[in-house]
Structure 1
Amino acid sequence: MSARTTGAVRARLRAVFTDAGVTGHLHARDLDGDGEVELGSDTPVSTASTHKLCLAVALQRLADAGRLDPTEPVDVPAQGRTPGGTGLAMMRDPARMSVRDLLALALTVSDNTAADVLYARIGLAAVNQEMADLGLRRTVALHTTRDLLTAIDEDCDGDQARLLVDPGLLARLRVLDPARTNRSTPREMTELLAAVWHDEACSPDRAEELRSMLGLQVWPHRLASGFPFDDVRVAGKTGTLPTLRHEVGVVEYPDGGRYAVAVFTRAARTAVNQPAADAAIGTAARLAVEALRAPRGNRV
């Protein structure tokens, strides 16, 4: 892309984020070419639940190395589960599931309990080591999901409802500071996606398993909202924390075009429901992908 065209795309991306009341960072890359679109793509960001993708890749790599059996059954007691609104986190009875089925829940419905059972199984250090081995040295996990939720509660002195009426509390939240929580950059997250789609992150069979799981994610209101077409496939993983709305994923067109996109946003408002911020993720992703797909000389 020419410098002039890149500047035009960036201006449109900034306008999308500004109109939605958020700041945004984005990286998009053509998985079968050298094109890219970026806006603050090397800025460290708090990853929230998009870091479950890193957990997933680490698990598959450990399975490839013979250090983990994906069919291994794991008992999940009814008590002591990590809070969350989906999957095992909301269920009441003891469960037994395989490692790979727990992973499916962590990716498709962002199940916090399933993710933390897996974190406990392999450890944060193993996740970080696998990312480093892939060359993603700015992608680091400091917290399990329970740790993230506990940190929010501690920083709010046990009263998270105050976040809705006291925006000054945001400055105290460790989970919003990339230096003190799970972090990456938009560029490294698309690099990780590229490794999965190119069968380089793990063996081809396990990479295909990850692609399938990501394609079954249930949330259509962020990245997928920018591509409301029956013949365009979107596979992704969302992330959400107070003021943060993210998604990383891959958009695949029927003509074979494949594009990895990572969008990270932070809102000025502390409201729990922020549909404008959610929609901005899809709009920004569409603009970036359209720029990558446009014939050279016609990109805007």
Structure 2
Amino acid sequence: MTDPRTRHHPGPHAHPQARDRIRAAFAEAGVTGWLHAVDIDSGAQIDAGADRLVVTASVHKLCLLVALHQQAEAGRLVLTEQTECPRDGRTAGPTGLAAMLDAARVSLRDAAYLMVAVSDNTAADLLLERVGLDAVNDSTRRLGLTRTHATQTFREFLATIREDAGNGGPQALADPQVVARLRAVDPARTNRSTPRDMTRLLGAIWRDEACTPEHGAAIRRLLGLQVWPHRLASGFPFDDVLVAGKTGSAPTVRNEVGVVEYPDGGRYAVAVFTRAASPAATLPAADAVIGTAARIAVDALRTPGPRATGRGTID
């Protein structure tokens, strides 16, 4: 892999072998995966199923975050506005307000922090109550994300999993046949996008095209505060390489989209979406391959062309 401190400027078709290496990494980890990576400034890209329609799960919180800031920019809401989170009736989840036991009062911007940093489902639905699904879809449509669409709240998303699992409850999700019938893993019946749409959104955020610079900086800050190191960030274990992103998960689904920034100024938007063959909830290799695949793609974008290896092949 390349030195993270050395940046080159390849053309748009550099390293055609990268796609094969990415697919081999997915296969070795026991997942089917789709990836798009793009140099935010030059437009050079790596496409490994970039136009595949995929389940976004909590990745769609990024779309909500952008819509929230666009609404604030337009004067339709104030980010310091307070919202009430009652003790009962919260959207389920293991983090943030979703896991807390008492009533709370939080600003919209702090709810956004919880939604991104720890993927708090309750915080996300509090924001959706204020912003609305229509505004989220209007936002993505205006940004040219033609295959990105939100159809449900996060409470509704989780409800379909419970309903489709049937009387077996959460234990039924260990059965591949049960998982296969879940609406939550079918992009035609839940919130959806494509890897290419997601890198287009990230590029717009980093170039201050999605919002004014003030709001763009706020969005980038929150994405940089995500706490999960086991997916995209695992591929870039360098103190001077910054990774900002948003994960998404559902049964057999592990995703992350984000931007990798190098000390020489290189900025790369990466979107990785996967489906695991195993329904097991804990699959470290399936999480880690997101970072591996992203690193292969970014290394390819940072390398000027194919290089011969000691084995006489093209790497």
Alignment of 1:93-112 (within 5 A): 93-112=102-121
Partner of 1:73: 82
Partner of 1:276: 285
SS across alignment from 2:256: strand
Q: Deviations over 1:86-142 (max 9, x none)?
A: 100111111111101100100010000000111111111110011111111211001
**Partner Cα separation in structure 2 for residue 257 and residue 297 of structure 1:** 20
Alignment counterpart, residue 135 of structure 1, candidates 141, 144, 156:
144
**Partner Cα separation in structure 2 for residue 96 and residue 247 of structure 1:** 29
Question: Aligned pair 1:51/2:69, yes or no?
Answer: no
Question: Aligned pair 1:173/2:182, yes or no?
Answer: yes
SS across alignment from 1:27: strand
**Partner Cα separation in structure 1 for residue 123 and residue 220 of structure 2:** 18
Question: Aligned pair 1:161/2:209, yes or no?
Answer: no
SS across alignment from 1:5: coil
Partner of 1:222: 231
Alignment of 1:177-196 (within 5 A): 177-196=186-205
Partner of 1:243: 252
Partner of 2:6: none
Partner of 1:89: 98
Question: Aligned pair 1:37/2:25, yes or no?
Answer: no
Q: Which has the higher contact order (CA 8 A, sep 6+)?
A: 2
Report the alpha carbon displacement of residue 156 of structure 1 after superposing the two structures with TM: 1.0
Report the alpha carbon displacement of residue 171 of structure 1 after superposing the two structures with TM: 2.2
**Partner Cα separation in structure 2 for residue 2 and residue 152 of structure 1:** 40
TM-score, normalised relative to structure 2: 0.92
**Partner Cα separation in structure 1 for residue 15 and residue 69 of structure 2:** 39
**Partner Cα separation in structure 2 for residue 198 and residue 5 of structure 1:** 26
Query: In 2 relative to 1, CA 86–2 (structure 1 residues): closer, same or farther, beyond 3 Å?
Result: closer
Maintained 8 Å contact 2:13/2:45:
no
How many residues matched? 298
Question: Aligned pair 1:115/2:124, yes or no?
Answer: yes
What is the aligned-residue RMSD (CA, Å)? Answer: 1.2
SS across alignment from 1:37: strand
- Amino acid across the alignment from 2:251: P
TM-score, normalised relative to structure 1: 0.97
**Partner Cα separation in structure 1 for residue 72 and residue 176 of structure 2:** 44
**Partner Cα separation in structure 1 for residue 193 and residue 77 of structure 2:** 25
Q: Deviations over 1:196-216 (max 9, x none)?
A: 000010110110011011001
**Partner Cα separation in structure 2 for residue 222 and residue 280 of structure 1:** 7
Report the alpha carbon displacement of residue 160 of structure 1 after superposing the two structures with TM: 2.4
SS across alignment from 2:294: helix
Report the alpha carbon displacement of residue 296 of structure 1 after superposing the two structures with TM: 3.1
Partner of 2:26: 17
Partner of 1:210: 219
**Partner Cα separation in structure 2 for residue 179 and residue 111 of structure 1:** 24
Report the alpha carbon displacement of residue 2 of structure 1 after superposing the two structures with TM: 7.2
**Partner Cα separation in structure 1 for residue 163 and residue 68 of structure 2:** 30
Report the alpha carbon displacement of residue 5 of structure 1 after superposing the two structures with TM: 3.0
**Partner Cα separation in structure 2 for residue 181 and residue 141 of structure 1:** 7
Question: Aligned pair 1:146/2:160, yes or no?
Answer: no
Residue segments in structure 1 that go unaligned for 5+ positions in a row: none
Residue segments in structure 2 that go unaligned for 5+ positions in a row: 1-10, 308-313
Partner of 1:5: 15
Q: Return structure 1 stretches of 4+ with deviation > 4 angstroms.
A: 1-4
SS across alignment from 1:138: coil
Partner of 1:124: 133
